[in-house]
Structure 1
Amino acid sequence: MSSKARHSLDPLNLDRFNHEALIPLVSPLTGKNYIGWCNHIELLLTATVKLDFITGKCERPTERAKAEQWDLVDSMVRSLILGSVSKEIAQHFIHAKTAKSLWEEIKGRYGSHGPLLYRIHRKLRSIRQGNADLFEYYSKLCNLWSELHYLKPIPVCKCKCNVGKEISVGECNGCILAKQIADDKSETELFQFLMGLNDCYDNVRDLILLMEPLPTPSKAYSMLLGVETMRELSKGEKGCEKTHDLVCSYCKKIGHTHEGCFKLHPKTKRSM
């Protein structure tokens, strides 16, 4: 690695760290949005090679010149964190001496796993589509799944067959177990998504549940979105009505009815 590359990856380097410009990028911490706020701050600090200041991996040097630089950078990291916290909350943490102690104090106040996990599971248990469109409903679920994954990430096997891969796909027992956990998580999310859908999607939901293997939540959403789009194009209507579900009773595929099924009416396809 060149000296220039090493310099750019040095946590004490300030070339890419404009903390004042980063503050407006973060939605202020209010308490209830801790997970999203925490994830965003960690992302910004990772991108600017400053994450080690809150994890404690970048310790204060003993050499005077480097120690002074460390104090400067650490104060900027603290300023970024405090600047992205609502004023009502910030006043309780203003006396933190280092970025690490500030981060741990905020985490201790708002980041207890038990209450956060309970809140997420309670929302997942009760969420329904209701008056929301398909995109809005699915987005809400994705946000909750993302928060849950942040608190309880899928374990990754550390064997050589999984180096550099997010989800284990190797052949050792650890890889197989991690893959099973990931598949179970995807299946649970699929059921949560389907259970909250409005009744107008009953026919499509039944077809999705008959698929082997079961699709991922994103694939199921894509299928439902396609049905909704075809419905709007063919009927000139928005929203969904149960009598207008485009599910073919002949070939069991979604997106058309038996009247427009090419398998049932092959001449129709040839004439197009």
Structure 2
Amino acid sequence: MFLNTSKEIWEAVKQTYSKVQDAAQIYEIKTKISSTKKGSRSITEYSNLLQSLWKEMDHYQCIQMKCSKDAALLKRFVEKDRIYDFLAGLNVEFDAVRVQVLGKEELPSLNETIAIVRAEEGRRGVMVENSQVDSSALVTKAVSERRFGLEQPNSEDNRQTERTKPINRDSVWCTYCKKARHTKERCWKLHGKPQTTNKNFSEKGGQPKGQGRAYTARQLDGKNNSQESPVEFNKEEIEKLKNLLGSLEKTSSTGTEYEEDDWTC
């Protein structure tokens, strides 16, 4: 093919290889733009990807306007359309800033819109970092308290502690017989002396009062015997041991002592 001028050559090349006004190519770019979402990208990466597609679209559409006013109107129309594309591809967490931009009386420019969304992204990043630091501090504090036993007891523990505190019998007063160390509910003059009262017994574990030493000795002997070989006693030694224990019981059971639930008058 022989052409006389360079203009003819360029026109021939344009007609042969250029895809300007190619409907299929424009449709493909349009599809890419509508399917582009922010996803895990940053706002900068997301906006740069859209801008590259928009420039490619401008190349293939190649709209030429003869009137300057019409050109300005077309430019503003295209910019608004691209603002809508940009906002539509944002994630759900940017709904607030999306409403903020669309709620303005006059829609901002594309660059201003990108700047607003980028500022919101930076603010959210700072808030997430602060929340992570706070949660890490709470976890560290909880671990330290468990490790060093610094946890505060809950209300149930406090109530349990209060229930187990010993009662001061000197502060108890009977309103019926006007005597101390018992209440009206346990007054013998009002209710009579109970038949099962035995001052040799206390309420602490049902252990006989005055027999604590012998009882403890038997406990210790039982523990030692479980670990050592059994010791055999003859009848004479058993009788001596019984007499010794009996004398200890008589000696230790003397004296008056009142416990929490003793009946007195």
TM-score, reference length from structure 2: 0.42
Larger radius of gyration: 2
Larger RCO (CA under 8 A, 6+ residues apart): 2
TM-score, reference length from structure 1: 0.41
